[in-house]
Amino acid sequence: MAKRATITDVAKKAGVSVATVSRFFADSGYPVSKQAGSRIQSAARQLDYTPNVVGRMLKTNTSKDIGVIIPTIRNPFYPEVLLGIEKTAAARGYQILLCNSLRNIATEKKYIDSLYQKQVRGIIIAGADGSAAHYREMTLKGMQLLALDSDESGACCASIYYDYRKSGVIMARHLKEMGHINVAFVTSPLTKQSRKDILAGVAEVLDIRRENIIIDGTELETESGIYEYEMGRRLSSEVLALKARPTAVIAVNDITAAGVIKGLSESGIRVPEDMSVAGFDNIDLSAMISPPLTTVNQPGFETGALAADTLIDMIEGKETERINIEPELIKRASVSRIGGKKHE
Amino acid sequence: MAKRATITDVAKKAGVSVATVSRFFADSGYPVSKQAGSRIQSAARQLDYTPNVVGRMLKTNTSKDIGVIIPTIRNPFYPEVLLGIEKTAAARGYQILLCNSLRNIATEKKYIDSLYQKQVRGIIIAGADGSAAHYREMTLKGMQLLALDSDESGACCASIYYDYRKSGVIMARHLKEMGHINVAFVTSPLTKQSRKDILAGVAEVLDIRRENIIIDGTELETESGIYEYEMGRRLSSEVLALKARPTAVIAVNDITAAGVIKGLSESGIRVPEDMSVAGFDNIDLSAMISPPLTTVNQPGFETGALAADTLIDMIEGKETERINIEPELIKRASVSRIGGKKHE
DNA sequence: TTGTAGGCGTTATCAC
DNA sequence: GTGATAACGCCTACAA
């Protein structure tokens, strides 16, 4: 393997100065004569020259990478987000350094520091869970942090907040319309703002009794993607143990809902004939299980795209235009009408 | 935001030369006296100094990033692979630049070139689909390419090949043991070596009639993860249209198998009572559907980990130790015994 | 429109 | 053990 050609080699071969070559390859619009341009181009082609981004980075102190930190790509919501991020990032010339924190604060911190050393100018942190102090410190150092769906983040860095409360409202309204009054809510611990907000939204519309709110005791995001499914399956028995048996269950997300359906059917309860079940997220899985799950679409792709645009605006010092992402009800077969009224 | 402290600032404050500071922060084991060390440390702390990786990269011409190119993270097999890559990469001080090619050759090429400009020394390409010529060209330029599960790759770059043939054999043997003779095989187009190999393995054990091999007409990996599911669902009717109706269906992967199950049950065929269904991959979904899917575990995590280790060995010029990844049968409820013989 | 030259932050090669 | 100093590849005043 031959040594890589540098800007100097090209300049020599093309009979111009390095400055001219540099100007030619930077898109800065700096004038370079047609002649010089074409000679540079042919020289570059012959030498198989490509600009060395590292040299440029060192000089201009500007990186075209952005960091993306998520809990785990195993959570089927994040692939969507990531694809959205990547699409708009690519369109604006940026590339993604992916980091799975596994909800480990130390790991997250290490990643942030490492990105900082790499001169990365901005990071999207999804499901942020790190210390606000560290975020603030990095912001002070000039890093742009953008939190997706985080509780504390508001205090210490920019954030895109998806309106989970509204999602809850939408779902609850639908269940109410379908005749459900006595509804249970099944969730992992309310440690994330998103979960609290979904519940709050639901409770705005439906009168959820305290004992109908069933919260799991543990949370281990490191575990396999199947964890929340198993949780839902397990908690379904608590639903059935309720004195006044609910006619419907709202789970905090689709995976949990899938587990609830499984658990119920193992107990001989048919969904949706005997009990309705609904979730949130609209992941691919939701359409594949039986019965297909009624859910609220949290558009991961759009959220990711918006996040990337916002972050890059922040990095480049542009004004960010605020776009709203609207939750949308996806009606499928896991919720049935009860109470006879069929006015639709 | 104050300007970042540099090695010079630290040297000045600590009263030593930049060379000493550099030696202190490089882990090269170059001797630095205790005294100097502690003074450097305290100076660095006061100035909040962290080495600038870009400067180092420029000088040493060595990047600690590796590229990972996959078709799409939406395919639920890749999150596992990625997590495996990340774990061992992180352990060896490397970070991941993620690229989703969406099976677009132009996109893939663009990503490779961009990684090259960034001085990335190695790339893991999963589900490689690009042109062998381009791979070879990049290899010549000194890039380390490692293909995961690719057809042409062998010719032009290193590759880790997972033994799909063996997976096919294992599954076919299981079905045979369970009494299935007349088996159908449902697959997306045989454009990937992995698919061909699975079929070959199956055919080694089971006598699959030509008309029992049902191949989909189209392939669009850009589409949502639900695509292969819909395909399986659709193709299930072709299975049912077979003159000699098979007792079991082997699908090329779990998502397709899930679709087949759905399609069959929509046609009133119960799985596994009326017909057995099996797949490959053992993704999370497989345990969540009804009935849970019998499948072969293709350990994505381990594959990713191995790939990262191998690639980094290649980059660092070390000898790679070859580890075998063994497929493993996962028996669940979607395959039932037929023919009465119950000798187990 | 082009060229010269200094510097971005680091490491490596010498001397000492 | 330590210290000057010359690179690494590129950009950008400034001068022409």
Chain B positions touching A285 (Cβ under 8 A) are: 285, 288
Question: Considering only A48-62, A183-197, A214-228, B65-79, which range has the smallest mean pLDDT?
Answer: A214-228
Chain B positions touching A79 (Cβ under 8 A) are: 72-74, 79
- pLDDT at site A343: 43
- pLDDT at site B28: 79
With 60 as the cut, is the pLDDT of residue A342 above it?
A: no
Chain B positions touching A50 (Cβ under 8 A) are: 113, 116-117
Q: Which residues contact A266 (CB under 8 A, 6 or more apart)?
A: A233, A236
CA of A269 vs chain B CAs: smallest distance (Å): 15
Distance A4 CA to C2 C1' (A): 26
Query: What's the whole-number mean pLDDT along residues A163-192?
Result: 95
Dist. CA B275–CA B263, nearest whole Å: 12
Tell me the pLDDT of chain A averaged across its residues.
92
- pLDDT at site A152: 57
Task: Tell if the CB–CB gap between B50 and A76 is shorter than 8 Å.
Answer: no
Per the CATH hierarchy, to which homologous superfamily does domain B164-298 belong? Response regulator (3.40.50.2300)
A328-330 sheet: strands from edge to edge: A213-215, A183-187, A248-251, A276-281, A294-297, A328-330
Which residue type occupies B235? Answer: L
Task: Inform me whether the C-beta atom of residue B190 falls under 8 Å from chain A C-beta atoms.
Answer: no
Q: Which residue, B160, B62, B147, is CA-closest to B101?
A: B147
| Interface mutation target, options A78, A288, A295, A332, chain B, most CBs of B under 10 Å | A288
CATH fold of A7-59 reads 434 Repressor (Amino-terminal Domain) (1.10.260)
Q: Is the fold of A7-59 the same as that of A164-298?
A: no
Which parts of A211-266 are beta strand (E)? 213-215, 248-251
Q: Which of B1, B4, B83 is opposite residue A100, by nearest beta carbon?
A: B83
Domain borders along chain B are 7-59, 65-162+300-327, 164-298
Buried b (16+ CB within 10 A) or exposed e, A268-304: ebebbeebbbbbbbbbbbbbbbbbebbbbbbbbbbbb
The DSSP bridge pattern shows strands B158-160 and B144-148 to be parallel
Which parts of A246-318 are beta strand (E)? 248-251, 276-281, 294-297
The protein residue nearest nucleotide C13, judged by CA to C1', is B19
Distance A43 CA to C12 C1' (A): 31
For A285, the token pair is 């899985």
- pLDDT at site B218: 72
Mean pLDDT by 10 residues, chain B (344 residues): 88 96 90 94 96 96 96 92 97 97 92 97 86 89 88 71 93 98 96 91 97 85 74 97 97 97 97 98 94 95 95 91 86 92 46
- pLDDT at site B152: 57
pLDDT confidence of A130, banded at 50, 70, 90? confident
With 80 as the cut, is the pLDDT of residue A340 above it?
A: no
Please tell me whether residue A126 adopts helix, strand or coil conformation.
strand
CA of B204 vs chain A CAs: smallest distance (Å): 32
- pLDDT at site B1: 59
Write out the H or E segment, with its range, that includes residue B126: strand B122-126
Find where tokens 């929340």 sit. Answer: A228
Task: Tell if the CB–CB gap between B117 and A76 is shorter than 8 Å.
Answer: no
Pick the more confident residue, A145 or A156: A145
Percent of chain A with pLDDT over 70: 94
Nearest CA in chain B to A62: B54
Task: Inform me whether the C-beta atom of residue B1 falls under 8 Å from chain A C-beta atoms.
Answer: yes
- pLDDT at site A336: 97
- pLDDT at site B320: 80
Residues A203-261 have pLDDT tens digits of: 999 999 999 999 998 756 555 668 899 999 999 999 999 999 999 999 999 999 999 99
Distance B155 CA to C13 C1' (A): 41
- pLDDT at site B242: 97
CA of A114 vs chain B CAs: smallest distance (Å): 9
pTM of the full structure: 0.93
Q: Which residues sit opposite A110 in a β-bridge?
A: none
Question: Considering only A7-16, A25-34, A173-182, B137-146, which range has the smallest mean pLDDT?
Answer: A25-34
For strand D, the positions having any atom within 7 A of a protein Cβ are 1-5, 7-13
**Environment class of residue A263 by beta-carbon count within 10 Å: exposed (0-12), middle (13-18) or buried (19+)?**
buried
| Interface mutation target, options A54, A63, A97, A281, chain B, most CBs of B under 10 Å | A54
Chain A positions touching B4 (Cβ under 8 A) are: 141
Task: Inform me whether the C-beta atom of residue A106 falls under 8 Å from chain B C-beta atoms.
Answer: no
With 50 as the cut, is the pLDDT of residue A344 above it?
A: no
The CATH architecture assigned to A65-162+300-327 reads 3-Layer(aba) Sandwich (3.40)
Residues A151-177 have pLDDT tens digits of: 555 667 888 888 899 999 999 999 999
Task: Tell if the CB–CB gap between B289 and A288 is shorter than 8 Å.
Answer: yes
| Interface mutation target, options A98, A121, A315, chain B, most CBs of B under 10 Å | A98
Residue ranges in B272-327 assigned as alpha helix (H): 284-288, 300-316
Dist. CA A283–CA B336, nearest whole Å: 30
